[in-house]
A and B are shown apart, each in its own frame.
Chain A
Amino acid sequence: MPEAVPVATMPVLSRRPAEPRLELAPPKARGRVLMWIQLGVAATVAVLLVAAALFPSVFAPYDPNAISLAETLKAPSAAHWFGTDQLGRDLLTRVIYGSRVSLFVAFCAVLLAGAGGGLFGVAAGYLGGMVDSIVMRLADIQLALPAVILALVLVGAIGFSMFNLIVVLSLANWARFARVTRSEALSLRQRDFVLLARLAHASRLRIIFAHIVPNVTNTFIVLATLDIGIIIILEATLSFLGLGVQPPMASWGGMIADGRGYLETAWWICGFPGMVLMLAVLSANLLGDALRDRLSPTLSRAW
């Protein structure tokens, strides 16, 4: 500590410089670079997949249905990046066209489940009472039956078609959204701006759509993004088991099922669709996590 210097040699009042500002190393930043890399890769992959699904002819080198008996079961090569299947069809092309089905079904199912479940949840949370009880009981039932089993039974019952599949996937999945939006609505209900709206005699419908729903949007986006991965997996499982999209339409799950018999000799028939599947789910999950950090950090990490 620097010596105190009396002001103008007067012993009563002394003076010394304040402690200097130290230039010090701040606490380390934690893995932020890694996080940005993750996010970048995930976003790039997602964009690529969606682009490939929307404009397959741009990315796919061959015709997905072009059978060529001369080229069956060829390993990956320069001509066929992903190899060929048992009918000589180029696997890369099929995977790209398959992504159309997988991604389309997933997006639709998530939107349907999300919108339906979300609205039910908001209604249950905000209106309470009978509505709440009914919605919660229904949600309990959906949660009491595993998605695969529910979907299995439903598809068995109402038949195979893409529309049915989307409906079934939504029915097996909406409760997740309902639960979360319900608890958000419950807490929003107490907030001042809602009370003010009620004081102003705004109708309940108006309050729900003008006030509650916009505030639930952030959480909804996070949940929906995270859900895409889950639905892709669910659809792939159903298709693999033969209960999803039916031939000639092929999603990744169906391709993997086809390739199962060739696991030993031509593993790429299962392998590449599987890899792309994982990549899609991975990027959806990473994006969802990143969105959660930005938009709705209080959302439980279990979902």
Chain B
Amino acid sequence: MKPILEARHLTTMLRGRHGGVVTAVDNVSLSVMPGRALALVGESGSGKSITCLSLLGLLPSSGKLVAGEVLFKGRDLAKLPQRELEKIRGREIGMILQDAMTSLNPLLTIGDQIGEVFRYHQRVRDRAELRRRAVEVLEKVKIPAAAERLDSYPFQFSGGMRQRVSIAINVALSPDLLICDEPTTALDVTVQLQILGLLSELQREQNMAIVFVTHDLHLAAQFCDDVAIMYGGRVVEAGPIREVFERPVHPYTVGLLEALPKLETYDRRLLAIPGQQPGLAEVPRGCRFAARCASAVAQCHESYPDWFEWNGGQRRVACWLTPQRLPEPVAEMQQELANG
């Protein structure tokens, strides 16, 4: 199966307030398979959101995609002019933003904002038709009394409802890919589950691929099929999510999983990864994680690790210690092959 979206060597630089330049996304490569959900996991500041913005050419004026390609249905989004990108955005690729409270225009009605999608992509001009389609979409995301709600303004909706409207806007034209940037982080837990349920359903119905950015590992495990772990602007480990979470290889992934509070060990101290992410401005020569890594060796500090891959490239890890840390089944297979 060919990936529906393939990003290669994405590198994005941001210019800070007082002149400093930061490489927020450093040589990131991702593949998203049609109909599958890819979790993009990492701490705040690991570059997950900027990566998503870079995919669609939505960087703020202080940022620039300086290298890489974004292959979508055979075209490189990074090289397309704005007009072409405008046609793809909203219709073939959608994106849900993190802060539901501010992602809708306060001065336009919900109906207007949904209607725009039809107006600009399908050239629908008839007001009644626009309203009809908007109601249809609102019903798809389970907003009650949709027809009356069309004339309301965003400030009259709760956070969860606003996020639903956001989703409605994005899935109105059945896009092939939906990028979700921490869509439930700002919402209550109960609302979170509802929104996730909605997204699951829509994904199944429309066979949508999803990129799901989150720092919540549980959520990722429940909802997604594949995962890419990011640290310091780079991807450090990737693969099918069950495999990665059950048999993590990269020390950072291991640390993340161990830091999760578990019911069985509730009476012990929570394990935290010591230290902090390096500021993205000071880039060490070797592995980004080396300073905090308990297993680091000299080589880790000197040069950036190679990619170690197996399962036909589906599973990959960027760590010098991978051969020693291979999950058992793979290690065994290696042994067998070595023995002949």
* A and B directly contacting (CB within 8 A): yes
- A interface with B by C-beta (< 8 Å): 1, 4, 7-8, 10-22, 24-27, 29, 32
Q: A4's contact among B8, B62, B309, B337, by CB below 8 Å, is which? A: B309
B24: shortest Cβ distance to chain A, in Å? 11
B230 CB, nearest partner CB in chain A, Å: 14
Q: How large is the interface on B (under 10, 10 to 19, 20 to 34, 35 or more residues)?
A: 20 to 34
Q: Which of B14, B305, B309 meets A13, CB within 8 Å?
A: B309
> Using Cβ atoms and an 8 Å threshold, which residues of chain A touch B63?
27
Asked if A16 meets B334 with Cβ closer than 8 Å, knowing A24-B11, A24-B66, A26-B66, the reply is: no
Contact A27 B15, CB 8 Å, known A7-B323, A14-B309, A19-B29: yes
> In the complex, which residue of chain A has the Cβ closest to the Cβ of B66?
A24
Q: For residue B13, which residues in chain A have a CB less than 8 angstroms away from its CB?
A: 24, 26-27
Contact A13 B67 (CB under 8 A): no
- Complex Cα distance A217/B64, Å? 37
CB distance from A60 to the nearest CB of B (A): 41
Distance of A12 Cα from B27 Cα, bound (Å): 25
B 87-146 contacts with A by CB, 8 A:
none
**CB<8 Å pairs between A and B, sample of 18:** A4-B309, A4-B313, A8-B338, A12-B310, A12-B330, A13-B308, A13-B322, A16-B309, A17-B307, A19-B29, A22-B11, A24-B11, A25-B66, A26-B15, A27-B14, A27-B64, A29-B19, A32-B19
Q: Could you mark each residue 306-329 of chain B with 1 if its beta carbon is under 8 Å from any beta carbon of chain A, else 0?
A: 111110010000100011001000
A18 near B27 (CB under 8 angstroms)? yes
Q: Which residues of A sit under 8 angstroms from B313, Cβ to Cβ?
A: 4, 14
A sample of 7 more A-B contacts (CB under 8 A), given A18-B27, A22-B66, is A12-B337, A18-B305, A18-B318, A20-B27, A26-B15, A26-B21, A27-B13
Given A7-B323, A21-B27, A26-B66, verify A15-B307 contact (CB < 8 Å): yes
The 4 closest A-B pairs by CB, nearest first: A19-B27, A26-B21, A27-B64, A24-B66
Contact between A22 and B67 (Cβ–Cβ < 8 Å)? yes
Nearest CB in chain B to that of A4: its residue: B309
A293 to B, closest residue via Cβ: B17
Asked whether, in the complex, the Cβ of A16 is within 8 Å of the Cβ of B307, the reply is: yes
Instruction: State in angstroms the CA–CA spacing of A22 and B13 once bound together.
Output: 12
State in angstroms the CA–CA spacing of A7 and B309 once bound together.
10
Q: Is the CB of A13 within 8 A of B62?
A: no
In the complex formed, the residue of A with least CB distance to B8 is: A1
- Bound-complex Cα distance A14 to B21 (A): 35
Contact A13 B306 (CB under 8 A): no
Chain B hits for A27, CB < 8 A: 13-15, 21, 62-64, 66
- Residues of chain B within 8 A of A21, CB atoms compared: 26-27, 283, 304
Q: Does chain A have a CB within 8 A of B292? A: no
Contacts of B305 in A (CB 8 A): 18
Q: Interface majority SS on A: helix, strand, loop or mixed?
A: loop
Contacts of B27 in A (CB 8 A): 18-22
A12 CB to nearest B CB, Å:
5
Per the bound structure, the CA–CA distance linking A16 and B308 in Å amounts to 7
Q: How many A-B residue pairs have CB under 8 A?
A: 76
Which chain A residues border B334 with CB–CB below 8 Å?
10, 12-13
B310 pairs with A14, CB closer than 8 A: yes
When the two chains form their complex, are residues B304 and A24 in contact, meaning their CB atoms are under 8 A apart? Answer: no
- Give chain B residues whose Cβ lies under 8 Å from the Cβ of A19: 9, 27, 29
With A21-B27, A24-B67, A27-B63: A16-B337 Cβ-Cβ less than 8 Å: no
Give the residue name and chain of the B residue nearest to A19 (CB).
B27
**For A15, what are the chain B residues with a Cβ–Cβ distance below 8 Å?**
306-309
Q: Does B189 contact A (CB under 8 A)?
A: no
The answer to whether B19 touches A13, judged by C-beta atoms less than 8 angstroms apart, is no
Residue of A nearest to B29 (CB): A19
A16 near B306: Cβ-Cβ < 8 Å: yes
Within the complex, what minimum Cβ distance (angstroms) separates B20 from chain A? 10
Chain B positions within 8 Å of A32 at CB level: 19
Chain A residues closer than 8 Å to B14, beta-carbon distance: 27
Q: By the criterion CB–CB under 8 Å, are B67 and A17 in contact?
A: no
- A18-B304 contact in complex given A29-B15, A32-B19, C-beta closer than 8 Å: yes
B333 at the interface (CB under 8 A from A): yes
Chain B residues with CB under 8 A of A11: 337
Cα distance A24–B21 in the bound complex, in angstroms:
11
Q: Given that A22-B11, A27-B63 are known contacts, is A13 also in contact with B310, CB under 8 Å in the complex?
A: yes
- Output the least CB separation between A238 and chain B (Å): 40
CB neighbours (8 Å) of A1 from chain B are 8
Chain A residues, Cβ within 8 Å of B9: 19, 22
What CA separation (Å) do A20 and B307 show in the bound complex?
A: 12
B306: contacting residue among A8, A17, A29, CB under 8 A: A17
CB distance from B259 to the nearest CB of A (A): 25
CB of B159, distance to nearest CB on chain A (Å): 21
**Do A13 and B323 contact each other (CB < 8 Å), given the known contacts A18-B306, A18-B307, A27-B64?**
yes
A294's closest neighbor in chain B, by CB? Answer: B18
A292 to B9, CA, bound (A): 39
| Smallest Cβ-Cβ distance to A20: which chain B residue | B27
Residues of B within 8 A of A4 (CB): 309, 313
On chain A, the residues within 8 Å of B64 by CB distance are: 26-27
Min distance, Cβ B186 to any Cβ of chain A, angstroms: 20
CB-CB under 8 A from B29, the residues of chain A are 19
A20 to B306, CA, bound (A): 10
Residues of B within 8 A of A20 (CB): 27
CA distance A8 to B338 in the complex (A): 9
With A and B bound together, what is the CA distance between A14 and B292 in angstroms? 26
Q: Which of B307, B322, B330, B334 has the most CB of A within 10 A?
A: B307
Return chain B residues, CB-CB under 8 Å to A8. Answer: 338
Bound-complex Cα distance A32 to B15 (A): 12
> What residues on A are CB-neighbors of B19 within 8 Å?
29, 32
The answer to whether B337 touches A10, judged by C-beta atoms less than 8 angstroms apart, is yes
**Set of chain A residues within 8 Å of B322, measured between Cβ atoms:** 13
Which residues on the A side are within 8 Å of B11 (C-beta)? 22, 24
